[in-house]
Amino acid sequence: AAGVIQSPRHLIKEKRETATLKCYPIPRHDTVYWYQQGPGQDPQFLISFYEKMQSDKGSIPDRFSAQQFSDYHSELNMSSLELGDSALYFCASSLVDSLGSRLHFGNGTRLTVT
Amino acid sequence: QKEVEQDPGPLSVPEGAIVSLNCTYSNSAFQYFMWYRQYSRKGPELLMYTYSSGNKEDGRFTAQVDKSSKYISLFIRDSQPSDSATYLCAMSAPTGNQFYFGTGTSLTVIP
């Protein structure tokens, strides 16, 4: 079965640079989420989109922005990178059906800021 | 206080043992309960999904939900070294589309 696809898998940037992370959700899933996970931490919700419209906002810094495109893929744009932005960034998608809603995660992008 | 509490462990058990992982929560609106398994450097993988109270069994895994106590559990029978991972509980309410995670329990199954 198709899964959530993220690219790139690894990214190394310097402080104050910008980064763009991409996510391709599972086909027909209507909601996309972005999460940030630090070492030994649970995923922290950043932002979500429902049918290409921003639906919820979590602890996303103002330096970050995201959007979902007409083909449902999503991009997380990160500017003025700081050392503390080094983390795993996960995209997840979900579809509400008769059983409810459950998240399916990609394998993440590991961002290292030096 | 976090909405979902989970003992981070680490938990270390011998192969073949029964493992019990638990989470408590405070929001009585939660209806959907999930357990994820996360291997190092990988994304969380949906392991079990339960709606409302009750038990659900899938092979060696059993998920239990006790809504009256706001307590969920994941049992792993005949644990294997390949079960060594971090286990995250997650839950959500019927309204809204946010998911709330525990901090994860690190499990090591020793051969």
pLDDT at A95: 82
The residue among B4, B99, B100, B105 with the most chain A CBs within 10 A of its CB, best to mutate, is B99
For residue A107, the distance in angstroms to the closest alpha carbon of chain B comes to 4
8 Å CB contact between B38 and B85 = yes
pLDDT at A21: 98
pLDDT at B9: 85
pLDDT at A1: 65
Tens digit of each residue's pLDDT (9 = 90 or more) over B1-58: 688 999 888 999 999 999 999 999 999 999 999 999 999 888 999 999 998 888 999 9
The size of the A-B interface in CB pairs under 8 A is 64
For residue A39, the distance in angstroms to the closest alpha carbon of chain B comes to 10
pLDDT band at B78 (very low <50, low <70, confident <90, very high): very high
Which bin fits A9, alpha (ψ -120 to 50), beta or left (φ > 0)? alpha
CA atoms B2, B4, B5, B9: torsion sign? negative
Read off the tokens for A87: 């983390």
Is A100's CB within 8 Å of B51's CB? yes
pLDDT at A15: 97
Spatial separation of the C-alpha atoms in residues B65 and B92, rounded to whole Å:
13
pLDDT band at B101 (very low <50, low <70, confident <90, very high): very high
> Which residues of chain A neighbour B99 with C-beta distances below 8 Å?
33, 45, 103
What residue ranges of chain A have pLDDT lower than 50? Answer: none
